[in-house]
């Protein structure tokens, strides 16, 4: 089983407008598929701009011989490029998504979520069923809404003649953040398989310890649930509500990005990795 893990140590900025910052780490577990070993998800974290992005290429394109993962990866690459020289206060997630969409030429389509933190305000733009949750005091404080036309049919970005397929469909949201909050962003491979209380429990068990393994723990729990046909999952509940029969989890690519929100300047010595191999100074893209 392939796993892609990254830890990003954010640097403190001595500016009055940026009193909070995110320390982010991630884990990606693509489905086992010899034809598409990289899966169909993509994500990035840019520490200098304090921006997280996640995307999930829509698998239905495979019936036409198109790898939607290429679309998702190009979309996130373009989003990362758009913000790499930004200060956090200048980031507008919907505009970032719009520019990334306009510059993506690959065939296919994808859900997407762009999340930004500036000062104590988190802003986001979301299309489809990727998204994020904010955990505060061990409980879900906020969960981004899902956009879908129907069961297992999310809104998506797609190059087409219809304006409805572009970034204008993105829903914008704003959350006032506090030091100690934990942002868990992911694709539907996470949220289709773990209930909010499942995520809360895992975060409560780990949020007072090293954050390095939290994303992997969440992703692993989602993977185990996705292969379990005996335990009720959010996907099974959604299927039942739509009048469809499905037992257990949904086997899918799983992306998890975990960001711990801290006071800027409070982690100058934060480093739990002895060899530093997983530390990156600027942006990561998977």
Q: What is the average pLDDT across 93-98?
A: 97
Least confident of 59-63, 85-89, 145-149: 59-63
Report helix, strand or coil for 267: coil
Which of the pair, 281 or 129, is modelled with greater confidence? 129
Q: What is the average pLDDT across 197-207?
A: 90
**Amino acid 13: pLDDT:** 34
Q: What is the average pLDDT across 196-205?
A: 94
User: How would you label 187-197 residue by residue, b for 16+ Cβ within 10 Å and e otherwise?
Assistant: bbbbbbbbeee
With tokens 């859900």, the residue in question is: 111
Confidence of residue 5 (pLDDT cuts 50, 70, 90): low
Given a cut of 90, is residue 281 above it in pLDDT? no
pLDDT, tens digit (0-9, with 9 covering 90-100), for 131-176 = 999 999 999 999 999 999 999 999 999 987 566 678 999 999 999 9
Q: What is the average pLDDT across 5-11?
A: 45
Report helix, strand or coil for 129: coil
**Amino acid 63: pLDDT:** 85
Confidence of residue 190 (pLDDT cuts 50, 70, 90): very high
Helical residues (DSSP H) of the chain, grouped into ranges: 68-83, 93-102, 188-191, 196-206, 214-226, 234-241
Given a cut of 90, is residue 215 above it in pLDDT? yes
């Amino acid at each position: 089983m392939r796993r892609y893990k990254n830890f990003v140590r954010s640097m403190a900025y001595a500016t009055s407008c940026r009193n909070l910052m995110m320390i982010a780490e991630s884990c990606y577990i693509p489905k086992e598929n010899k034809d598409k070993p990289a899966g169909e998800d993509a994500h990035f974290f840019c520490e200098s701009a304090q921006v997280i992005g996640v995307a999930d290429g829509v698998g239905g394109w495979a019936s036409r011989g198109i790898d939607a993962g290429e679309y998702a990866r190009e979309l996130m690459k373009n989003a990362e490029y758009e913000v790499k020289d930004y200060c956090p206060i200048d980031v507008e997630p919907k505009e970032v998504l719009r520019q990334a969409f306009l510059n993506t030429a690959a065939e296919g389509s994808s859900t997407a979520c762009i999340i930004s933190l500036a000062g104590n305000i988190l802003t986001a733009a979301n299309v489809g069923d990727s998204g994020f949750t904010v955990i505060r005091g061990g409980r879900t404080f906020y969960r981004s809404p899902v956009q879908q036309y129907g069961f297992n049919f999310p809104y998506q970005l797609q190059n087409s003649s219809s304006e409805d397929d572009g970034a204008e469909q993105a829903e914008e949201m704003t959350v006032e953040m506090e030091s100690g909050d934990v942002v868990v962003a992911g694709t539907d491979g996470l949220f289709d398989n773990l209930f909010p209380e499942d995520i809360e429990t895992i975060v409560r068990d780990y949020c007072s310890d090293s954050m390095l393994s939290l994303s992997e723990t969440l992703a692993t729990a989602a993977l185990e649930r996705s292969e379990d046909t005996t335990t009720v999952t959010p996907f099974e509940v959604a299927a039942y509500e739509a009048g469809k029969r499905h037992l257990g989890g949904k086997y899918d690519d799983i992306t998890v990005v975990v960001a711990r929100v801290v006071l800027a300047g409070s982690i100058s010595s934060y480093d739990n990795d002895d060899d530093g191999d997983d530390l990156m100074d600027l942006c990561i893209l998977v």
